[in-house]
Structure 1
Amino acid sequence: MNVSQETDELLSNAISSQASDIHFCPFGDNVFIYYRIHGNRIHKQTLSLSKYEQLLSYLKFTSGMDIGEILIPQNGVSFLKEDKESYALRLSTLPVQSTESLAIRILPQRQVPQLNELFLYPNQLQRIKSWMNHRAGLVLFTGPTGSGKTTTLYALLQSLLAERSVQTITLEDPIENQLKDILQVQVNEKAGIDYNAGLKAALRHDPDILMVGEIRDATTAKFAIRAAQTGHLVLSSLHAKDAFGTLSRMLEMGVTKTDLQQTLVAVASQQLLPLLQHDEVSTPHTRAAILELLDNNHLLNAFNGISPYQDQSFPSFPRLRRKAYALGYISKQII
């Protein structure tokens, strides 16, 4: 079996296992391969270092990376068809010891789910949709990698466009799914299109809504704030462990408290729960999202340093998980 066939077999196995990511971790003369499945990292197999380096070179070549460069991190994208489904593969290398580690994010190019299919509690969906009535401001969706933030943003935009005509532009790295009637801009730093340059160009196209795929640094954070201040509704994602912690993350990026208070409409922090599958809990999905929703008075108090978790009525993640367990949606181990 040649390296192309071995790579296809590995990717096919990961897809059939419903893995969202593949991690290649070199250690000594071996490379350990892990799959991320429903948030859990599972060891799948071990390769020799020599076999891995053949596979790595092939993957770097097919995703547009420089095969000869092993001293700096690189990113690449390739595409795969498997059982009539299309997948985008986002690859990232990292120099370690005398070789490189590799991470592959598997992005199914299937139809974006309907917004009402994503959340465990329907009332949370209605809260989020009410935020979209703001003509300007910043709405942040936060959570760890793989928690479904981008899927939520996509579904929200599609839901909005089904209800009213709005000029919508997204800036993404990478574009994870093609959306109808939305201008999607691929961030490409090699070509000089970073988030900052893309946002400046997007603002000239008279958008009602701007979606910034992810706020990663101070420059993007400050530009998103400025876009919100100039009369645009800006939706974006951010890595933060919970809703209250999102404010600290933005302030750490150099956004002033005054600017944040003037622009931030709300924060939705998201977690995915694995659902029990039985007759009493009928659902077509294996996971559903719960959300900590920070808005209105709780948001005002948060700016004054008052944690929403002090309020027993605030639907925090622990309370939402306990409710899900009481209703029979999840197992006791998830609480």
Structure 2
Amino acid sequence: MNSAQLLSDKILQQALKSQATDIHFYPFTQNTNIYFRIQGKRILHTTISTVEYELLLTYYKFTSGMDIGEIRKPQNGTIPYQTNSQDYSLRLSTLPVNQLESLAMRILPQGKHFSLDQLFLFKNQLTKIKQWMNFRAGLILISGPTGSGKTTTLYALLEETLKNGSFQTITLEDPIEKNIDDILQVQVNEKAGITYQTGLKAALRHDPDIIMVGEIRDRHTAKFALEASLTGHLVLSTIHAKNTIGTIQRLLEMGLTRVELEQSLIGISSIQLIPIISSNESKRRAALLEILDGKLLSKAIQGENINFNHYKHTFFYLKRKAWSYGFISNETFEKE
């Protein structure tokens, strides 16, 4: 092993031991700070010299297939990593800053599959979104911030569904975060001409029952996903929005009409991860889901003024319930 590889291995081992989901390299002229994101919080891990960091960055860019000579443009890449018989995929992203390049790394476990039961704090929410998968056509959306578990939830839903039946399932992802058996997973690669739009067109020619679109980012992807759901396909996707009502607003801003949403949307689930109190003191987060479907979804799509205080689906109500049951601390309830 060369010095850069040794340093990389040391940092990764420490990150995995700390149960970090991300590593951030923040370079300055002389020194580079290394941060771990643990339980959603960004924590300073250590500082190395920028000379060391540049060697490390070159090593990462080379092994992930990036252009080593390109420092003016953002780049992305992936590296497989194995330790103690556990497989990981490292998702790398560079960003030019002040004559240097910062690096962000997402750590994605490959062999670790979460069941739906392990993901959610309240099991009745699990029952609800499982019922959505009984539809043979329509659009199911999971919204929330980066790192909240949207894609993990979709993976778990797909795996749960495939246990109970055989369905031609195709995913379009950027990047593929986890390899799953019995699913055709397509890597979006805009440089090679495989965009979400072209990928969707090709996927529809493969007679799919279920299509998962990694993320609805723009009006073109939104339109294609909607059209696929209206032509006899069950479409699952994620979108960045604060809550369920915010998801509807984003779709309207992308050019979809209320009539189209009324015809296609099965349900919207907005997700938040919160730290929970564990008896064995191990660190864990669980998901709360703000769910919108049925008649309430129809009213929201039509823009009716709804007093959500009368309903038990809001994040505020769910957090208060979690706090009253002793699942979360008072500090978490007030802060979150």
TM-score computed with the length of structure 2 as normaliser: 0.94
Counterpart of 1:12? 13
Can you give the 5+ residue segments of structure 1 that lack an aligned partner in the other structure? none
Counterpart of 1:261? 262
Q: CA deviation at 1:267?
A: 0.3
Counterpart of 1:290? 288
CA distance in 1, matches of 2:119, 2:203: 29
Give 3-state SS (helix, strand or coil) of 1:311's partner. helix
Counterpart of 1:314? 312
CA distance in 2, matches of 1:45, 1:247: 42
Percent identity of paired positions between Structure 1 and Structure 2: 56
CA distance in 1, matches of 2:324, 2:258: 39
The one-character-per-residue Cα deviations of 1:242-289 (angstroms, maximum 9, x if unpaired) are 11100111222232333222211110101112121117x9xx982211
Contact 1:136 1:233 in 2 (8 A): yes
Q: CA deviation at 1:190?
A: 2.4
Change (3 A) 1:50 1:299: same
CA distance in 2, matches of 1:92, 1:219: 25
Q: CA deviation at 1:146?
A: 1.1
Counterpart of 2:322? 324
Give 3-state SS (helix, strand or coil) of 1:176's partner. coil
Give 3-state SS (helix, strand or coil) of 2:310's partner. coil
CA distance in 1, matches of 2:17, 2:305: 43
CA distance in 2, matches of 1:21, 1:57: 19
Contact 1:77 1:88 in 2 (8 A): yes
Identify the range of structure 1 (208-217 vs 26-35) with the bigger mean alpha-carbon deviation.
26-35
Identify the range of structure 1 (111-120 vs 6-15) with the bigger mean alpha-carbon deviation.
111-120
CA distance in 2, matches of 1:241, 1:307: 18
Counterpart of 2:303? 305
Alignment of 1:1-335 (within 5 A): 2-278=3-279, 286-306=284-304, 310-335=308-333
Identify the range of structure 1 (120-129 vs 217-226) with the bigger mean alpha-carbon deviation.
217-226
Contact 2:275 2:283 in 1 (8 A): no
Task: State the superposition RMSD in angstroms.
Answer: 1.7
Give 3-state SS (helix, strand or coil) of 2:273's partner. strand
The one-character-per-residue Cα deviations of 1:205-239 (angstroms, maximum 9, x if unpaired) are 11111001111222211111111111111000111
CA distance in 1, matches of 2:67, 2:208: 36
Contact 1:75 1:90 in 2 (8 A): yes
Contact 1:244 1:307 in 2 (8 A): no
Q: CA deviation at 1:114?
A: 1.7
Change (3 A) 1:307 1:277: farther
The one-character-per-residue Cα deviations of 1:5-54 (angstroms, maximum 9, x if unpaired) are 01111111111111111111223433221111111111111222222111
Q: CA deviation at 1:96?
A: 1.0
CA distance in 1, matches of 2:155, 2:308: 32
Change (3 A) 1:47 1:237: same
CA distance in 2, matches of 1:191, 1:156: 30
Contact 2:140 2:235 in 1 (8 A): yes
Q: CA deviation at 1:168?
A: 1.0
Which amino acid is 2:60 matched to?
Answer: L
CA distance in 2, matches of 1:331, 1:27: 38
Q: CA deviation at 1:309?
A: 5.4
Change (3 A) 1:32 1:254: farther
TM-score computed with the length of structure 1 as normaliser: 0.94
Change (3 A) 1:67 1:123: same
CA distance in 2, matches of 1:309, 1:35: 40
Can you give the 5+ residue segments of structure 2 that lack an aligned partner in the other structure? none
CA distance in 1, matches of 2:322, 2:76: 39
CA distance in 2, matches of 1:151, 1:310: 28
Q: CA deviation at 1:307?
A: 5.6
Which amino acid is 1:200 matched to?
Answer: K
Which amino acid is 2:299 matched to?
Answer: N
